[in-house]
């Protein structure tokens, strides 16, 4: 496993559902059902190194892009697993070749533990705050998953919002019916 330190203030991006723009560092939505590298119950925030990758990750193969708020995050210094170049035989344990498995189908349809969840466990066991990994929806793009993001000190995970344009709470949505979902 290759560990590396992210620099202080590395810029990463995420498109957020407007309803949850008051809680941009929350990974509660991913904790609800799980994500590529996190099991249900483990909070995880998925970010992208490139704006284009963030947009494609949000779109998730849909023809039309739904409304969203593009947010810049300043991250680090944090130790992460550096899997950004993907699987290379001999450099990684063979289980890492399964990083791009169809985790949704495995978990929800086949009721099989996705191997990518085991990768998240391995990263956490190694003391990593997250995993840098290649995007499966934007060729050449790189993502970062941060585990337990809302527990990270603000100096390690900051939202770039110098003019405080993001809502500070969810009161703007109090008249909107809540679909029962949590922020991603």
Q: Which CATH architecture group holds 3-161?
A: Alpha-Beta Complex (3.90)
Q: Which residues contact 94 (CB under 8 A, 6 or more apart)?
A: none
- The per-residue pLDDT for range 146-159, each reduced to its tens digit, is 999 989 998 999 98
Report the C-alpha gap between 114 and 37 in whole angstroms. 9
Written as one string, the DSSP assignment of 109-159 is IS----HHHHHHHHHHHTT-SEEEEE-SSSTT-EEEEEETGGGS-TTTEEE
Residues in the chain, pLDDT under 70: 173-184
pLDDT of residue 171: 76
Report the C-alpha gap between 72 and 91 in whole angstroms. 32
Q: Give the global pTM.
A: 0.89
Report the C-alpha gap between 28 and 121 in whole angstroms. 18
Residue 87: alpha-carbon gap to chain centroid: 19
Q: Where are the alpha helices (H) located in 38-85, listed in sequence order?
A: 51-59
Report the C-alpha gap between 6 and 33 in whole angstroms. 28
pLDDT of residue 181: 53
pLDDT of residue 176: 54
């Amino acid at each position: 496993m290759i560990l590396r330190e992210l620099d202080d203030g590395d810029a990463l991006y995420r498109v957020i559902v407007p309803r949850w723009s008051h809680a941009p560092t929350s990974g509660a939505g991913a904790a609800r059902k799980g994500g590529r590298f996190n099991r249900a119950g483990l909070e995880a925030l998925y970010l992208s190194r490139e704006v284009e990758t963030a947009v494609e990750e949000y779109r998730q193969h849909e023809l039309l892009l739904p409304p969203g708020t593009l947010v810049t995050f300043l991250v680090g210094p944090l130790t992460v697993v550096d899997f950004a170049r993907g699987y290379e035989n001999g450099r990684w344990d063979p289980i890492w070749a399964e990083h791009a498995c169809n985790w949704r189908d495995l978990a929800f349809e086949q009721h099989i533990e996705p191997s990518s969840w085991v990768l998240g466990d391995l990263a956490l066991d190694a003391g990593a705050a997250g995993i840098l990994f290649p995007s499966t929806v934007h060729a050449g793009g790189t993502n970062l998953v941060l585990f337990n993001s809302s527990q990270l000190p603000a100096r390690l995970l900051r939202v770039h919002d110098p003019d405080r344009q993001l809502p500070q709470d969810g009161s703007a949505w109090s008249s909107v019916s809540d679909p029962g979902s949590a922020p991603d």
